[in-house]
Amino acid sequence: MNTCPHEEVLHAYTEGWLDAESQQAIEAHLTVCHECQRRVAGWQAVSEAIRGLPRIPAPGGTLQPMPTPHHEWRLVLALSACLAGIAAWLWLAGVSPPELNHFVGWTPYSTLSESAQQAAEKLQPFWHTLREVLKWKA
């Protein structure tokens, strides 16, 4: 091989990713091409240096204990209770069942009746908190 291989191919050679024939061809080229030799040596030095980076001890005692499965059940119960509470509250506020769709995002706000709009506004912070909790769990 007289011309230099494409750089990405030369790089693949250093990792042994090529087939045997190509590996040999590049090896032969390297014996006569200083430019490619220099490149290969540089890459090898870089990967050696990354390999040699030391591990850093994690700051002590900062990891919080994991929630136990027991807690998970409690969370599910708490969320269910919240949802039941919201449903009851909407019912009492006089929001009709089709309008409930708004609260899961299927109905635009402007199509709600006035009482439902008021209910929706009051529920905003609560809804936000619930979503944060769910996001945190996910």
Q: Is 69 in the site for other proteins (CB under 8 A)?
A: yes
| Residue 18 structure tokens | 């090529």
**Distance between CA atoms of residues 29 and 4, nearest Å:** 8
From candidates 63, 97, 110, 124, binder to other proteins by CB under 8 A: 63
Q: How many residues does the chain have?
A: 138
Q: How far is the CB of 65 from other proteins (least distance, A)?
A: 8
| Residue 60 structure tokens | 């002590």
From candidates 32, 45, 83, 134, binder to other proteins by CB under 8 A: 45
Interface with other proteins (CB under 8 A), residue total 32
Q: Residue 93 binds what, of Zn ion, other proteins, none (CB under 5 to 8 Å, by partner type)?
A: none
**Distance between CA atoms of residues 6 and 26, nearest Å:** 11
Beta strands in the chain, from DSSP E residues, in sequence order: none
**Distance between CA atoms of residues 55 and 38, nearest Å:** 30
Residues of the shown chain interacting with other proteins in the complex, contacts defined by CB under 8 A: 7-8, 11-12, 15, 17, 39, 42-43, 45-47, 49-59, 62-69, 137
